[in-house]
Structure 1
Amino acid sequence: MAEARPVPRITSFLAAIVAFAAVNAPTVLYAAWREQLGFGATTQTLVYAAYVAGLVPGLVLTGRWLGRTGPRLLLGWATAGSVVAALVLAVAADPVTLVAARLVQGLGLGVIMAASSAALYQAVPPRPRTTTALLVTLTAILGASLGPVGAGLLADASGGTTLPMVGAAVALTLVLGLVTVHGASSTARDAVASAAADAPVPPAADASAAGSGATGQADVEPRGHLAISLTAGASWSLVGLYQSVGPGLLGAALGVDSLTALGGIVAIVLAVAGVVQVASRGVAVPLARRLGLGFLVLGIAGFAAMLLTGNLWLALFASVGAGVGHGFTYLSATQEMGSLIRRRPERAGPWMSRYFAIAYLCLAVFTVSLGLVGDLWGLVPAAVVLLGVLAAGSAALLFSRNR
């Protein structure tokens, strides 16, 4: 059944940003939980990666539910579940509770990602699909930047891990109210919105959006689905390092105790990525991909060098390199997926679900491997070795060709 009351664009955008912020708020809290609850690096990375175990089915199932339920109801239920998960994290007293709450957070985020993306495409008045695609990618960038910084500020102010997650729950509650009431009162407007959302997309606009993302650019023959997904996965793996054990490694190497400062370093990665995504829409996809993977390798090398030297400037260089690399790589991979789907539009749903699933599974595998090897060798040697593996994989993708 079609959605009778499309969700306003600003509500969909804010819902996704706040959901991403809440999921990423624990970034600066893992080390504190690890010290308070007495668990090792493997458990720490499992707590971080648990949300991926919920995220992937959330993404896949929502694609099926949207046709029957519509974005508004799904956004409401997922946001409500995310409020509960944040409150559980605020009072968690053992690792099992942390993992369970993160699973619920991941499921909620998967539903919100898919439902808000659908709502953005259905919003009225319609916008070019390239603009909507940018809004979809920016929700992750903005949320993942704001979450660690906000949590760091609240943790430093309160001296504990409870207030940051209570703050996340409050923000989610406000969004839940917005999703419930915003745009839900005008029957006439809803009828117009529904008709506009169901209207077919002109072929020219669809071609522009599904291709490179820049008007007038040639639509380059895309690589295979797996190569595109692994490219996005390499990018997200490096971001996953910053979101899991990265703040602890940075704090130990640089001698920094402020969670706000460590959250700020993590936010640099995502903020730079967001700026690059906004500025790089006119860059040809193959060039953007190679720039992205090249900067990823530089960011990886900078992080490894920072771990070995404790140099602040190397830490900043690594953060900027990772941000530039992620911005170019993730957006270009998403655009390349659009070009692939343009050739087989009937495969859009399954291919996009698999694309996101592979990208986030790469993130989970990399971070959990870091925890497992870290418990055997120590986090710094493990990080240096696995960063080397990630750099080699990124370099291989860098020199791969279009078919």
Structure 2
Amino acid sequence: MTRTPAQDPGVTDDTCNDRRARTRFWLIALAFLITMIGTTLPTPLYALYQQHLGFGPTWVTLIFAIYAAGVIFALLAVGSWSDQLGRRPMLLAGLAMGALSALIFLCTDSIGGLLVGRLISGFSAGIMTGTGTVAVIEAAPKRWQGNATLVATAANMLGLGLGPLLAGLTSQFLPWPVHLAFVVHLVLLLAATAAILSVGETVQRPAKPRLAFQRPSLPAAVRGPFIPAAIAGLAGFSVTGLFTSLVPSIMRQVMGHDGGVVIGAVIFVLFAGSVVGQAWVRRIRDSAQMSIGCSVLIVGVACLGMSIASAQLWLLVLGGALSGIGQGLTFRAGMGAVANAAPAGQKAGVTSALFIVYYLSMSVPVIAVGVSIPQFGLHHSAEFFSVLVALVAVVAMVSMNVVRARASNV
């Protein structure tokens, strides 16, 4: 006979509530991770698309650019809607967009189809990025509240890293090399949808929701931590843009590695490093987190540039790991400070505003590199990009120290 909490002296109502809270917390984080897997699935497949459709690396960066445009549009259009409609409806909308993108990739046989699929994938990421981050933080049980931001940002970055790894495995060893990964992702999205349907709402909805296109603006309480977080993100997310758009071409054309698993694994190292950096950030005092993160990022980008110049895979892996750690340190420190400073009714909107800066940082430099490739070649363009990102990281570190010094003198 099943015993209820009242019948079983070892099980209290508080214990049951804690279990339900933990389950909800991890289910939302898992759904967030699964959605983000889909946003990087095509990365190791671009070479196969290039062979079949006959386009060059410039088109790869344009396909990446339209994904970033979709993310930014979604963040601006619906980034604050979960504050009005609730987290769960917007999480379900993000999952639906991810499924639609996967279906388009399953059916497309043209560059136009790839562009549309990536645009819809960008909508999915834009909806989930702001909403998912805040939903995970809000759903955290008491014992996990200190690590809730880590779980949210780690789910984001780990999902981005697992996408290329999954697609690399399926494209190299299994049938349907350009399609199977999207079939697997559709199954995962179905499971994630069931998970979100089973959890409760994490925010109190207003009686009369106000839905509007979000104009980038910040409450006064957020502006202080927002500025250094945005500056550091400019350097860190530029590197993630390089890895998810140009590294497959660099590995094939410069280093002679064309296996999907190897490419996926190298890209995964960057995002795994980001998770390590995010976990490490709490061991560093607040005033030093950004400076240490930028310093590690500069060393990582230097290794990246040397790997391209020398065509050495081990330097690329080392550069990816260090760049990821530096990006993770700055990302987690900035996100935590901004989320903590945001007013209760504006958390999703403020988080979305920060991700708009991050995705602009991820896309604009990569587009510039893609446009320069026909003129200067992949090799020299990527080297120049590495030097530029290192300089931006130096400027970010100096700027943050100046901002901190001015704040302390006020």
Bin for the TM-score computed over the shorter chain: 0.7 to 0.9
Q: Which residue of structure 2 aligns with residue 369 of structure 1?
A: 368
How far is the alpha carbon of 1:384 from its aligned partner?
0.8
Question: For structure 1, which segment, 62-71 or 46-55, has the greater mean C-alpha deviation from structure 2 after superposition?
Answer: 62-71
How far is the alpha carbon of 1:129 from its aligned partner?
4.1
Aligned-residue CA RMSD (Å): 2.6
Query: Deviations for 1:315-355, whole angstroms, at most 9, x for unmatched residues?
Result: 2221221122112121122234346x36x778755543321
Whole-Å Cα distance in 2 between the matches of residues 225 and 54 of structure 1?
23
Check 1:249–1:67 CA distance in 2 against 1; reply closer, same or farther (3 A cut). same
Structure 1 position 388 matched with structure 2 position 387: yes
Whole-Å Cα distance in 2 between the matches of residues 118 and 265 of structure 1?
29
| Identity over aligned pairs, percent | 24
Question: What code does the residue aligned with 1:165 have?
Answer: F
Q: How do 1:277-292 and structure 2 match up within 5 A?
A: 277-292=278-293
How far is the alpha carbon of 1:78 from its aligned partner?
2.3
Contact 2:66 2:119 in 1 (8 A): yes
Contact 2:82 2:348 in 1 (8 A): no
How far is the alpha carbon of 1:96 from its aligned partner?
1.5
How far is the alpha carbon of 1:35 from its aligned partner?
2.4
Q: How do 1:240-319 and structure 2 match up within 5 A?
A: 240-319=241-320
Contact 2:229 2:330 in 1 (8 A): no
How far is the alpha carbon of 1:156 from its aligned partner?
0.3
Contact 1:254 1:310 in 2 (8 A): yes
Whole-Å Cα distance in 1 between the matches of residues 55 and 328 of structure 2?
34
Contact 2:226 2:334 in 1 (8 A): no
Check 1:272–1:87 CA distance in 2 against 1; reply closer, same or farther (3 A cut). same
Q: Which residue of structure 2 aligns with residue 353 of structure 1?
A: 352
Question: What code does the residue aligned with 2:293 have?
Answer: G
Question: What code does the residue aligned with 1:297 have?
Answer: I
Structure 1 position 179 matched with structure 2 position 196: yes
Question: What code does the residue aligned with 1:81 have?
Answer: M
Whole-Å Cα distance in 1 between the matches of residues 301 and 391 of structure 2?
10
2:37 paired residue among 17, 21, 27: 21
Whole-Å Cα distance in 2 between the matches of residues 323 and 64 of structure 1?
28
Q: Which residue of structure 2 aligns with residue 228 of structure 1?
A: 229
Q: How do 1:72-151 and structure 2 match up within 5 A?
A: 72-123=88-139, 125-126=141-142, 129-151=145-167
The runs of at least 4 aligned residues of structure 1 exceeding 6 Å deviation read 344-347
2:85 paired residue among 37, 49, 69: 69
How far is the alpha carbon of 1:74 from its aligned partner?
2.0
How far is the alpha carbon of 1:177 from its aligned partner?
2.5
Secondary structure of 1:8's aligned partner: helix
Contact 2:153 2:332 in 1 (8 A): yes
Query: Deviations for 1:280-337, whole angstroms, at most 9, x for unmatched residues?
Result: 2131233121111111111111111111111232122212211221121211222343
1:165 paired residue among 182, 192, 212: 182
Q: How do 1:37-76 and structure 2 match up within 5 A?
A: 37-76=53-92
Contact 1:41 1:372 in 2 (8 A): no
Query: Deviations for 1:179-217, whole angstroms, at most 9, x for unmatched residues?
Result: 23x23xxxxxx6xx77xx66xxxxxxxxxxxxxxxxxxx
Contact 2:308 2:379 in 1 (8 A): yes
Check 1:178–1:390 CA distance in 2 against 1; reply closer, same or farther (3 A cut). same
Contact 1:285 1:335 in 2 (8 A): no
Q: Scaled by the length of structure 2, what TM-score is found?
A: 0.82
Check 1:224–1:73 CA distance in 2 against 1; reply closer, same or farther (3 A cut). closer
Contact 1:62 1:115 in 2 (8 A): no
Q: Which residue of structure 1 aligns with residue 328 of structure 2?
A: 327
Check 1:246–1:175 CA distance in 2 against 1; reply closer, same or farther (3 A cut). same
Check 1:125–1:231 CA distance in 2 against 1; reply closer, same or farther (3 A cut). closer
Contact 2:75 2:353 in 1 (8 A): no
Check 1:126–1:114 CA distance in 2 against 1; reply closer, same or farther (3 A cut). farther
Question: What code does the residue aligned with 2:131 have?
Answer: A
Q: Scaled by the length of structure 1, what TM-score is found?
A: 0.83
How far is the alpha carbon of 1:389 from its aligned partner?
1.4
Question: What code does the residue aligned with 2:235 have?
Answer: A
Question: What code does the residue aligned with 1:255 have?
Answer: G
Check 1:68–1:332 CA distance in 2 against 1; reply closer, same or farther (3 A cut). closer
Whole-Å Cα distance in 2 between the matches of residues 320 and 386 of structure 1?
18
How far is the alpha carbon of 1:153 from its aligned partner?
0.3
How far is the alpha carbon of 1:65 from its aligned partner?
2.2
Question: What code does the residue aligned with 1:391 have?
Answer: A
**Which blocks of at least 5 consecutive residues in structure 2 are unaligned?**
1-19, 205-221
Secondary structure of 2:177's aligned partner: coil
Check 1:385–1:124 CA distance in 2 against 1; reply closer, same or farther (3 A cut). closer
Contact 2:278 2:329 in 1 (8 A): yes
Contact 1:66 1:115 in 2 (8 A): yes
